A and B are shown apart, each in its own frame.
Chain A
């Protein structure tokens, strides 16, 4: 597999969001990340070697079935894997040139919430029911910057306005139950952005919301990205969401990224049989309804994942080689990579 040289980025000043430079500067590199959980039933290999990178101002979507390791990947980047039972057994998370996996907890805390922020799936549970919105908004700010209550409050009001909540100064003293679901997600986003992070990880930020609110929240993401230049890792099941705001897409299956490429490449030239299946299993405008077909079967047991391609059992093109050896990564273009034996010379012409 390709193993790129770690890029050490020396610039630590305030990010500049102008010009072409924007898409080139790498702010995050995840390399061969492996995460396991020790449970009563055995060791779950939740993430089994994930590699990708992320540029400034870019939105990378990670898609895949439930349980494929999307959340674990994002928690590992954030340094939020509960240890024990979890453990990062291998790999690096290089953020602005520094490997976060080697950080002490206290050093990690200086990055969490300040440089890297996170948004969770369910806005109904992501806010503490016993604390006011104001306190939840400002506590991160007041932890990272030694600023006064009044300054923090001003900033909080500014953030609430940014995410589209009216009457912010009164709202600050209210509790989460006094807001609707969509408003709560806006507040969660405001909390995540209040320290002006360089990287925002959104773990299924719209799954729990109804469709109209979803659209509003996605627009909010775009708007905020334009304003602040934040890089976003967006985790989702929902390819509709991906189509809307992602620049690049990584498809995960059983703890690995099996295909990654630009949105265009993944949507129009999907190469991995799983990616194709995934695209066929969701309603799209250019497909008639009857062509929809869910992928049959279930993902493999992550207690004992197969040595070869984990999709073998469900793959319509599976070959003898597939479950014996893991396929080599093939680069189809500068940004498009896929892990599948079908790309091997010897498989050409086998299926048609």
Chain B
């Protein structure tokens, strides 16, 4: 277990470092100073600004400062919002984005797995057909399109739900739905195919031959095995949900990290871009790390811990 975790952890740090470096050099490859387009194009003011943001130092020093900033988790002040530090933006935005993300994942996984399982159990039946049609459609509609359509229908025409912001559970329905539909469809399809495969396995036949109740066979015997491919794609899915929050937060005017990130991109607020990118990547890589561990727990064949008395 320890060895496995250490190895994964090392990979994780490496990936974050890679992204951080990439971000740093990409940002510095942009010609000109970030203050070029400011109204105060007075050279002295610019110089002072650059001094304040430590942009006048040689690149290696800046890089070292930057790495230090990452390690100490202090990304400095925002350029375009002088009253805000990157940290304070993250601190304000992250909890909301996290909430959106977690609810989305829960909705996507729970309903995706249920739908996929039902479809597999009624293989080639009406439920299967409907679920899979829904799934292909769900995969095909981009989340930001779905979001705008949902607003137009449920907030615009029907006026059932609020169109924006993140205040009450009612406000959360549309954004979550828009963000969760795609991942849910992918999970449903994957669960179905892996469930169908698992249901033909001998151990399922054996469980039937024991006279077990169908519910026990599905839940205890089939589901855990069928979940393994689903866990493997969780990484890609999490990345998709994370980037999805950018557009969803923008569309629904949710004051999360994604909104600040998109704003920082649009007004070239480099410290915020860099800080958020590194934060996002670190968060994502950490989630992938967790997914790996979950996989290890689900599948006892992966040797997380060595036990005595193993044969073969």
A interface vs B, CB < 8 Å? 78, 80, 108-114, 117-118, 120-122, 125-131, 139-140, 143-144, 167, 170-171, 174-175, 177-180, 183, 188, 191-192
What would 26 A/B residue contacts be, using CB atoms closer than 8 Å?
Answer: A80-B209, A111-B211, A114-B211, A118-B205, A120-B202, A125-B202, A125-B203, A126-B206, A127-B203, A128-B207, A131-B220, A139-B216, A139-B220, A140-B211, A143-B210, A143-B211, A143-B213, A177-B300, A178-B307, A178-B309, A178-B311, A179-B311, A179-B312, A180-B311, A180-B312, A191-B210
Return the 6 tightest CB-CB contacts between A and B, nearest first.
Answer: A112-B211, A113-B211, A140-B210, A113-B210, A118-B209, A125-B202
A125 lies within 8 A of B307 (CB): no
Q: What are the interface flags for B213-251 relative to A under an 8 Å C-beta threshold, 1 for contact and 0 otherwise?
A: 100100011001100000000000000000000000000
Q: Are B203 and A117 in contact (CB under 8 A)?
A: no
Q: For A175, list chain B residues within 8 Å (CB).
A: 300-301
Least CB distance from A148 to B in Å reads 18
B299 touches A126 (CB 8 A): no
For B, the interface residue count at a CB cutoff of 8 angstroms equals: 26
CB of A165 to closest CB in B, whole Å: 10
CA–CA, A61 and B24, complex, Å: 74
Q: Nearest CB to that of B124 among chain A residues?
A: A84
Q: A109-B213, A130-B225, A130-B299 are in contact. Are A178 and B310 (CB under 8 A)?
A: yes
Chain A residues with CB under 8 A of B208: 80, 112
Q: Which of B293-312 contact A (CB under 8 A)?
A: 298-301, 307, 309-312
How many Å lie between the Cα of A242 and that of B136 in the bound state? 52
Flag if A109 contacts B211 (CB, 8 Å): yes
Closest CB in chain A relative to B109 CB, distance in Å: 18
The answer for the CA separation of A131 and B301 in the assembled complex, in Å, is 11
B206 touches A118 (CB 8 A): yes
A120 touches B207 (CB 8 A): no
Tell me the bound Cα distance from A167 to B311 in angstroms: 13
- B307–A191 CB distance below 8 A: no
- Which residues of B are in contact with A by a Cβ distance under 8 Å? 201-203, 205-213, 216, 220-221, 224-225, 298-301, 307, 309-312
Of all chain B residues, the one with the shortest Cβ separation from A181 is: B312
Taking A120-B202, A130-B224, A177-B301 as contacts, is the C-beta distance between A183 and B311 under 8 angstroms?
yes
Q: Contacts A128-B221, A139-B212, A179-B312; is A120 near B205 (CB within 8 Å)?
A: yes
- Of A108, A109, A130, A188, the residue contacting B300 (CB under 8 A) is A130
Given the complex, which residues of B lie within 8 Å of A125, measured CB to CB?
Answer: 201-203
Q: Which residue of B lies closest to A117 (CB)?
A: B209
Could you tell me the distance between the alpha carbons of A80 and B303 in the complex, rounded to whole angstroms?
A: 35
Interface centre among A110, A121, A174, by most B CB within 10 Å?
A174
Q: Considering the chains assembled together, what is the distance between the CA atoms of A178 and B312 in angstroms?
A: 7
Cβ-defined contact, A112 with B209, below 8 A: yes
User: Given contacts A175-B301, A183-B311, is CB(A128)–CB(B225) below 8 Å?
Assistant: yes
Known contacts: A177-B300, A177-B301. The answer to whether A126 contacts B203 by CB under 8 A is: yes
User: What separation, in Å, do the CA atoms of A111 and B209 have in the docked complex?
Assistant: 9
Q: Which residue of B lies closest to A128 (CB)?
A: B203
Among residues of B, the one whose C-beta sits closest to the C-beta of A125 is B202
Give A168 to B205 CA distance when docked, in angstroms: 25
**Closest chain B residue to A171, Cβ basis:** B309
What is the CB-to-nearest-CB distance from B123 to chain A, in angstroms, rounded to a whole number? 9
Chain A residues, Cβ within 8 Å of B212: 109, 113, 139-140, 143
Q: How far is the CA of A112 from the CA of B207 in the complex (A)?
A: 10
CB distance from B306 to the nearest CB of A (A): 11
Closest chain A CB from B283 CB (angstroms): 29
Q: Which of B203, B211, B301, B311 contacts A144 (CB 8 A)?
A: B211
Shortest CB–CB separation between residue A147 and chain B, in angstroms? 15
Residues on the A chain within 8 Å of B202, using CB: 120-122, 125-126
CB-defined contacts of A129 to chain B, threshold 8 Å:
203, 225, 299-301
A245 to B292, CA, bound (A): 49
Q: What residue of chain B has the Cβ atom nearest to residue A177's Cβ? A: B301
Docked pose: A131 CA to B310 CA in angstroms: 16
Q: How distant is the Cα of A167 from the Cα of B224 in the complex, in angstroms?
A: 28
Rounded to whole angstroms, the CA-CA distance of A183 and B310 in the bound complex is 12
